[in-house]
A and B are shown apart, each in its own frame.
Chain A
Amino acid sequence: MSDEHLSASLAAGAEDGEGRWAFGTGFEDPLHGVDTTVPDGVDAGALAALCLALGDDALVGAQRLAQWTTDAPELEIELALANIGLDLLGQARLLYARTGQVDGTGRGEDDFAYWRDADAFRNVRLAELPRGDFAFSMARLLALSAWRLALFQRLAAAPDPVLAAIAAKGVKELAYHRQFAADWIVRLGDGTEESARRMQAGYDEAGPWLGELAADTSADALGGDAAGAAAELRQVWEETARAAGLTVGAYPAHPGAGRSGERTEHLAPLLEELQSVARAHPGAAW
């Protein structure tokens, strides 16, 4: 192999992104070239609201996973959490792009991510809770991925073909996220005294936020099935607990819902960090 090619034509410009590197790194417009028409009979307002809410879940979830960077218990976990975060970021970008097409505003992904305040976000509140320890992170990841997978499996047949395609792509990713979380919950639940205690605490902390997921019916008119997704979430949550030797409490659900705009005190600081550079340089090109 020659060393000489290393000074290759960087100076000539490097505009051509390589999509193969990681999803979402090689394009500016995730839905470029896609037919953006909303099919007859689909309520555009409801579709935009659903895409926005699912996009917010993914963005906020990815931001919490990014907080593990350089801090994971081992390198293999570091790689896996980054994979999951990147998957969610990719989902958020597709969903925001669809939202901007359908709501008639023409807003792009960055308008949704960087230029809305906390009160305009519609993610479920479980996603915005602080990162916590690895046990809580796995409990939250299990709940969010099991629920989202159940929802996306149904939305893969949604009447809106763009949402259906986004969901179908997400199904493969979410199946891995759910597996990763469940495997770790079993390891931690069965591992040492300390890990079992922490895993139980993680389950107990996430538990009261599950009711909000189960009660979300916003996808029902668009191919979703809240009752079906809720049942699947409950089953995965309980089966994983059994395999891990954990107990599932009768959690009283926290009142309110992120989907209707109620927030915990944790979202605003998360967004402040996420949006800090973009907002400090209005009119800048990135």
Chain B
Amino acid sequence: MTETEAPGADALQEYFDATIARDQRVEPRDWMPEGYRKTLIRQIAQHAHSEIIGMQPEGDWITRAPSLRRKSILFAKVQDEAGHGLYLYSAAETLGADRDDLTERLITGRQKYSSIFNYPTPTFADVGVIGWFVDGAAICNQVPLCRSSYGPYARAMVRVCKEESFHQRQGYELLMTMMSGTEGQRAMVQDAVDRWWWPSLMMFGPPDDNSPNSERSMAWKIKRHSNDELRQRFVDMTVPQAEHLGVTLPDPELRWNEERGRYDFGTPDYAELMRVISGDGPCNAERVTRRRTAHEDGAWVREAAAAHAAKHTARHTGPDRTEAAA
């Protein structure tokens, strides 16, 4: 092969850089730097894992949801999360990753998922607050990803965001309804708000001055806004909603800053975030064990499907053709 037939590494890099600079999309067949590919696989896989693990805290309430309408909504929501996991694993596969391998990394603890899903859900109000805060935070994080430089990821995000915004609305609507109910229900909502507020702020990751991967991801336009900027957006979006709902956000430093035109707020306990990320949160072991158990318990079904498919192909190919091919 001569140099005129295949562009050199420099030319490929230049073309890639120009694509990013023009805000155009990188597609699976395009050349991309290995670091870009690896960063994307890591981010998309973690995102997919978060969807899958994120089914657990709420999924437990499907069988106990207190009305048939709430049961339908929650069942559909948790199903959406499985669907998001599926699109995202598929997007990772366009980069050469393998779903089985990614699953293996999740259940052996080699790949992470969002820290938020390591907190418990002791009451039904948690379903509402997860919708409102966690899906709200996810939307803040993910709407900019609809413009991510990698095409399949950006397109998956468009669909995911549409569904997430409905999830957020259903959560908020559940809380509005509960706040109009009994005194006990209002207390349940406030208690859930108190427990989820700070972990939700931690979902945006460490502060900008301590976020090792952010800078490069932003240069590659995989990521569009810094962690702190997204966290601020979430606070600005949520405070008026809390007032409308009639709950108190558990932050004594929270106040409107006229000069900035934004809310000031306290600092999340980033040491707690680091503990949860490193595996020491309230439910880390339980979540991963459950996923691993389900995966292992289902192995015989997947093996059966593969064996049936192989026999089916052999029957339809027939021995004669196999021999002829050999």
Q: Residues of A with Cβ closer than 8 Å to B?
A: 1, 3, 6-8, 10-11, 13-15, 18, 21-25, 27-28, 59, 63, 66-67, 69-79, 82-83, 85-86, 89-90, 92-93, 96, 109-110, 113-114, 134, 186-188, 190-192, 194-195, 198, 273-274, 276-278, 281, 283-286
Contact = CB atoms under 8 A, between A and B. Distances in A.
Interface of B is mostly: helix
B87 to A, nearest CB: 10
Nearest to B146: A1
A119 B305 CA distance: 40
B304 A192 contact: yes
Contacts of A67: 63
B169 interface: yes
A278 B66 contact: yes
Nearest to A7: B237
A82 B185 contact: no
Contacts of A187: 304-305, 308
Contact of A79 (B82, B168, B233, B303): B82
B218 to A, nearest CB: 14
Contact of B82 (A75, A114, A281): A75
Chain A CB within 10 Å — which of B76, B185, B236 has the most? B76
Contacts, number: 200
- Chain A interface mostly: helix
A66 B76 contact: no
B76 A25 contact: yes
B297 A3 contact: no
A285 B305 CA distance: 45
A153 to B, nearest CB: 25
A86 B298 contact: no
9 contacts: A1-B143, A22-B76, A25-B72, A74-B302, A191-B304, A277-B124, A284-B178, A286-B66, A286-B181
A217 B172 CA distance: 46
A86 B79 contact: yes
Contacts of A11: 240-241, 243-244
B69 A25 contact: yes
Contacts of B56: 70
Contacts of B19: none
Interface string B156-189: 0000000001101110111011101110110000
